Chain A
Amino acid sequence: MDWKREGKSLAIIVTVFAACYFLPVDWLQQTERIENALWEALHLARWYAREHVLLCLVPAFFIAGAVGVFVSQTAVMKYLGPKANKVLAYGVASVSGSILAVCSCTILPLFAGIYRMGAGLGPATAFLYSGPAINILAIVLTAAVLGPEMGIARAIGAVSFSIVIGLLMHLFFRREELEKVEAAAGMPEPEVTRPLWQNALFFASMVGILVFANWGRPAEPAGLWQAIYDAKWMITSLFSLALAAILVAWFKVGMGRMLMVAVPTAVLALLLPEYPQVSFVAAAIGLSLLLTTGNDEDGELEEWFDTTWDFAKKILPLLFYGVLIAGALLGRPDHQGLIPSGWVAGLVGGNSLGANLFASVVGAFMYFATLTEVPILQGLLGAGMGKGPALALLLAGPALSLPNMLVIRSVMGTKKTVVFVLLVVVMATLSGLIYGAFFG
C-alpha cells in the first residue's frame, strides 16, 4: 500500500463516512433548514454571477494568463538560486508568489526546487507560505468579496509572516547538512523580448481596468471616493484605450483589427451607458478574438489566450461548487444555511485566542480548492465568525492541507514538516489576533 498516494482517498472516505454516521437526519427533517439551504445556495450563486464573474473574474483571468506567459519565471528564479544573495532571497521568495504561483499546482514543485536546488530551506518555506495567499486571483477575489481591508491584510500578513517563518525554519535547522541536487543547470537563460517598462505599463493598464471597473459605491456619497465612483466607467475606458494602444504598439496586434474591436465596443458604450457590462463583454470577446485569430509569429498572443482559458476552465467549476456548498452550509450574510449561525459564532466568533487558534488549525488541515476559501469565508463571516479568525483561516488555509503536508513531508522530512505546520498555525493565530484587535 502506498500511503503517500492513497492518503488523500483515505481521508475523503473517512470524512464522508463520519459525516454520514453522525448525520442528524431526524433533526434536519423537522426544521426548514434543508429547504432554506437550497435557496441560499441559489441566491449566493446568482449574487456571484451578477457581481463578480464579468467585471472581476474575467479581467483577473486575462491578467493571470498574461502573468503566466509574459513574466519570465526564470528571471525571478535567478534570485532564488543557490548563489543568490540570502537577504534578497527571502524578500523575493515572500512576494514572488504573486506572479509565480498563479495556480496552486505549481507551488509544490517550485518549493521543492528552491529547497533542494536553490536558496535553501528558509526562502523555500517563505515561498510555500506566502505563495497561495498572494497570487493575483486570490487577492482580487478576496478584496472584491470580503472587502479591501481583508484583501490587503491577507497580502501583508502572508508576506511579512512568511519571512518570519522562513527565518525561523532556517534558524531551527541551520545545523543540518543538505545534500543539494547537482542539477541546477535547469533554468535556461530567459529570452528578452520586451523591455521591463513596456511589460509594466501593459500590466498596469489591465490592473487599472480591473480596479476601476469594480470600484464600489462608497458608504458616504461625498469626497474623492464618490468622485471616482461617478467617473469609474470613464476611467475604465481610458485604461482600456491604453491597453489597446499598448497591444498595437508592442504586441504586434494590427491597427485595423484593433479598430474592429474598439469601435463596436465604444459604440455599445455610448448607446447603452446604463449597461456598461454590455460593452465590457464585447471588449472581452473582442480581445479573445484578437488573441486567437491573429497570425503572430512567436505565438505569444495565442499562448496568452490559451493560458487565460486554462485558468478559467480550471477555476470556474471549482468556484461554482464552492459557492453552492458555502451557500447551502452557511447561507448569505444574515440568512441561515444548514449550519446554525450560533455554532459558528460560538466556535470562531469574537477575537479570542481560542477562536483564532481553532480557525488556524482547521484551516491548516482542511483542503481548499483554488479560490473556494473566499465564498466559504464569506459564509462564515455572515454566520458570525470574527474578522480575526477569518484572517487566521485565510492565512493557514490555502498554504496547507492534509494532502499537501504529505508531499511537503516527502520533500523535507517529518521533523521539518511538523515544525513548519506548527509555525504556520502559530503565525496565523497571531495575525488573526492582531487583525481582530484593530478591525474586529
Chain B
Amino acid sequence: MKKIQILGTGCAKCGDLADNAQQAADQLGEEVTIEKVTDLKDIMQFGCMTTPGLAIDGNLVSQGRLLKPDQIAKLLRAAS
C-alpha cells in the first residue's frame, strides 16, 4: 500500500490536491493512505518549497502545482 502525503499549510489548493489524489487512486483501483502534512518544518524535510506538494512513499514528486487526477495516476504508476 502506498502512502501519499499532501504538503501544504492549509490553503484551498491542498484540499483539492488531496481529493485529486484520492480520485487517482480510485482510478487505478489502488489502496492508498492519504495524509496531510501541514507543519512547515515537516514540509521542509521533504525538500518542498512551493506548496501544494505531493509525496509518494516519502519521496517528493511534485510541488507548486495542483495536479489533475490523471497526472497523479501517472506518478503513482511510476512509483511502483
Over the window 57-68 of chain B, the binary record of Cβ atoms lying under 8 Å from chain A Cβ atoms (1 yes, 0 no) is 000100110101
CB of B13 within 8 A of CB of A112, answer no
**Nearest-CB distance from B52 to chain A (Å)?**
9
Query: Within the assembled complex, what's the spacing in Å between the Cα atoms of A103 and B12?
Result: 12
Using A110-B49, A186-B46 as known contacts, list a sample of 11 further A-B pairs with CB atoms less than 8 Å apart, ordered by residue number in A.
A77-B49, A103-B11, A109-B48, A110-B50, A112-B40, A113-B49, A113-B50, A118-B49, A183-B44, A186-B47, A186-B48
Within 8 Å CB of B68, what residues of A?
299
Within 8 Å CB of A117, what residues of B?
44, 47, 49
CB of B47 within 8 A of CB of A181, answer yes
A-B contact number at CB 8 A: 67
CB of B47 within 8 A of CB of A109, answer no
Given the known A-B contacts A186-B63, A410-B40, are A113 and B13 also in contact in the complex, defined by CB atoms under 8 Å? no
Interface band, chain B:
20 to 34
CB of A184 within 8 A of CB of B9, answer no
CB of B12 within 8 A of CB of A109, answer no
Within 8 Å CB of B50, what residues of A?
73, 100, 106, 109-110, 113
What are 21 A-B interface contacts by the 8 Å CB criterion?
Answer: A77-B49, A103-B11, A106-B50, A106-B64, A108-B9, A108-B40, A109-B9, A112-B49, A113-B44, A113-B49, A113-B50, A114-B49, A117-B44, A117-B47, A181-B45, A183-B45, A185-B47, A299-B68, A310-B13, A407-B9, A410-B39
Q: B-side interface residues toward A, CB under 8 Å?
A: 8-9, 11-13, 39-41, 43-51, 60, 63-64, 66, 68
**Nearest-CB distance from A310 to chain B (Å)?**
7
Q: A-side interface residues toward B, CB under 8 Å?
A: 73, 77, 100, 103, 105-106, 108-110, 112-114, 116-118, 181, 183-187, 299, 306, 310, 314, 407, 410-411
Q: Among the listed B9, B12, B44, B63, which residue makes an inter-chain contact with A116, where contact means beta carbons less than 8 Å apart?
A: B44
- Max chain A CB contacts within 10 Å: which of B12, B40, B43, B66? B40
**Nearest-CB distance from A339 to chain B (Å)?**
32
Query: Within the assembled complex, what's the spacing in Å between the Cα atoms of A362 and B39?
Result: 28
Query: Within the assembled complex, what's the spacing in Å between the Cα atoms of A410 and B38?
Result: 13
**Nearest-CB distance from B25 to chain A (Å)?**
21
Query: Within the assembled complex, what's the spacing in Å between the Cα atoms of A411 and B49?
Result: 13
Given the known A-B contacts A108-B40, A410-B40, are A183 and B46 also in contact in the complex, defined by CB atoms under 8 Å? yes
Query: Within the assembled complex, what's the spacing in Å between the Cα atoms of A238 and B28?
Result: 49
Closest chain A residue to B60, Cβ basis: A186
CB of B12 within 8 A of CB of A314, answer yes
Query: Within the assembled complex, what's the spacing in Å between the Cα atoms of A411 and B45?
Result: 13
Q: Among the listed A112, A118, A187, which residue makes an inter-chain contact with B43, where contact means beta carbons less than 8 Å apart?
A: A112
**Nearest-CB distance from B13 to chain A (Å)?**
7
Nearest 8 interchain pairs by C-beta:
A186-B47, A113-B49, A183-B47, A105-B11, A112-B40, A109-B51, A116-B44, A181-B44
Query: Within the assembled complex, what's the spacing in Å between the Cα atoms of A118 and B48?
Result: 11
CB of B51 within 8 A of CB of A105, answer yes
**Nearest-CB distance from A103 to chain B (Å)?**
8
Within 8 Å CB of A110, what residues of B?
49-50
Query: Within the assembled complex, what's the spacing in Å between the Cα atoms of A114 and B8?
Result: 16
Given the known A-B contacts A105-B9, A314-B12, are A184 and B47 also in contact in the complex, defined by CB atoms under 8 Å? yes
CB of A407 within 8 A of CB of B44, answer no
**Nearest-CB distance from B11 to chain A (Å)?**
4
Closest chain B residue to A113, Cβ basis: B49
Closest chain A residue to B12, Cβ basis: A314
Query: Within the assembled complex, what's the spacing in Å between the Cα atoms of A183 and B49?
Result: 11
Query: Within the assembled complex, what's the spacing in Å between the Cα atoms of A113 and B39?
Result: 13
**Nearest-CB distance from A315 to chain B (Å)?**
12
**Nearest-CB distance from B50 to chain A (Å)?**
6
**Nearest-CB distance from B79 to chain A (Å)?**
15
Within 8 Å CB of B9, what residues of A?
105, 108-109, 407
Query: Within the assembled complex, what's the spacing in Å between the Cα atoms of A172 and B41?
Result: 23
Given the known A-B contacts A73-B64, A186-B63, are A411 and B40 also in contact in the complex, defined by CB atoms under 8 Å? yes
Within 8 Å CB of B60, what residues of A?
186
Within 8 Å CB of A100, what residues of B?
50
Closest chain B residue to A105, Cβ basis: B11
Within 8 Å CB of B39, what residues of A?
410
Within 8 Å CB of B40, what residues of A?
108-109, 112, 407, 410-411
